[in-house]
Structure 1
Amino acid sequence: MRFYLPSRDKIKKLFKNMEEIKRLISENKLEEAIRLLDAYLTEQPRSDEAWFLLGKAHYKLGNVRLALNSYLQAIEINPESPAQAAYDMAIKVLDFYNKDMYNH
């Protein structure tokens, strides 16, 4: 099996893109962040950080199912990813609201 190592310029570009994505998420420009993350993941599908950020953006938009799927992708790549805590929290929130629905 051959491993592909990106060039120094490509690494710089990917790092810059990731910083831009984080900025967009912090500014709640979530659709734009998702668009960039989709493009990023096309080139770097094994980036647990990108999958985690995609989940975060989807969660902030209320797309919980898409967020959970993205978190699971990140966890599959890296079990130590912060996506694990985000996934656990999202599940707890869903459980809380689902139980609350039955109490009305």
Structure 2
Amino acid sequence: MEQLKTIKELINQGDVAEAIRQLDEYLITDSTDRDEAFYLLGNAYRKQGNWQLALNNYQYAIDLNPDSPAREAYRMAMDILNFFNKDMYNQ
């Protein structure tokens, strides 16, 4: 859990590449709090602008824990993408 706090701080500070590297390693070596790790990975990819990987990781988190905050993050990401996609048609 402490490692995930450190990773969350990396994301907040904008060191997204390092956060992703540590999360990938965490998911390989640690079987606890996997839903939170996938949620944080989704946040990291969203910050990079990689919406597809963000949504995929949010979905993994939701699959592991239906009450995960990833559910709300997924919905918000879809709202943002739907807004921008609709906008493209209205130019």
- Please indicate the TM-score interval, normalised by the length of the shorter structure: over 0.9
Runs of at least 5 residues in structure 2 that lack an aligned partner in the other structure: none
Runs of at least 5 residues in structure 1 that lack an aligned partner in the other structure: 1-14
Q: Report the count of equivalent residues.
A: 90
1:42 aligns to what? 28
When the two structures are superposed, what TM-score results if normalisation uses the length of structure 2? 0.94
Structure 2 counterpart of 1:18, one-letter code: L
When the two structures are superposed, what TM-score results if normalisation uses the length of structure 1? 0.83
Larger Rg: 1
Q: Does 1:93 align with 2:58?
A: no
Counterpart pick for 1:31 among 7, 10, 17: 17
CA positional deviation for 1:54: 0.2
RMSD: 1.1
Percent identity reads 51
1:103 aligns to what? 90
1:53 aligns to what? 40
**Bigger relative contact order, structure 1 or 2, given CA contacts below 8 A and separation 6+?**
2
Q: Does 1:70 align with 2:57?
A: yes
Greater fraction of residues in helix: 2
